[in-house]
Amino acid sequence: MKIGIIICDRYKTCAGGKCFRALENREGAFDIYSQNEPVEVVGYTTCGGCPGGNIEYAPAEMIKNGAEAIHLATGLVVGYPPCPYIAHFKQFLEEKYLVKVVVGTHPIPQKYLITHQKMGTWNTAEWLEFTKPTLSNEAVRLSYN
């Protein structure tokens, strides 16, 4: 399996440690891949900043490199505020590139879950769906704090 990862531009200096750890451990949104299935990251970039100019072009390179799925990183979900374009990104990528799009990479750190619960940021059906792949359990979330 070959995948691409798109992160929020606010975190453009992120080295990807949590994402790569989660991929290795098959945690968070990466738990859909079997430990026995090799997964290779063939592209890692930012969205290009609001409103996501890089979303239009970067996936083409990932797909040329064999990407079968593109993950929209957890940072797009847990940032303050969460990405207001994430639903558009997912729809655009699926329709233009005919590629599977997964919202999330590493598990949501517990501290972010608590904050967003207090703020009510994810209290819609759409956001509950977006957070589902990365909720994991409390012990795992705490390990990503």
DSSP run (H or E) holding 112: helix 110-119
Which residue reads 């990862």 in tokens?
5
Collect all residues with Cβ–Cβ distance below 8 Å to 71 and sequence separation of at least 6: 3, 4, 5, 6, 19, 29, 30, 101, 102, 103, 104, 105
Residue 35, CA distances (Å) to 22, 27, 85, 132 in order: 12, 10, 32, 20
Model's pTM, two decimal places? 0.95
d(CA 33, CA 65): 19
pLDDT at 122: 95
pLDDT at 25: 97
Tens digit of each residue's pLDDT (9 = 90 or more) over 12-55: 999 999 999 999 999 999 999 999 999 999 999 999 999 999 99
Q: How confident is the model at residue 133 (pLDDT cuts 50, 70, 90)?
A: very high
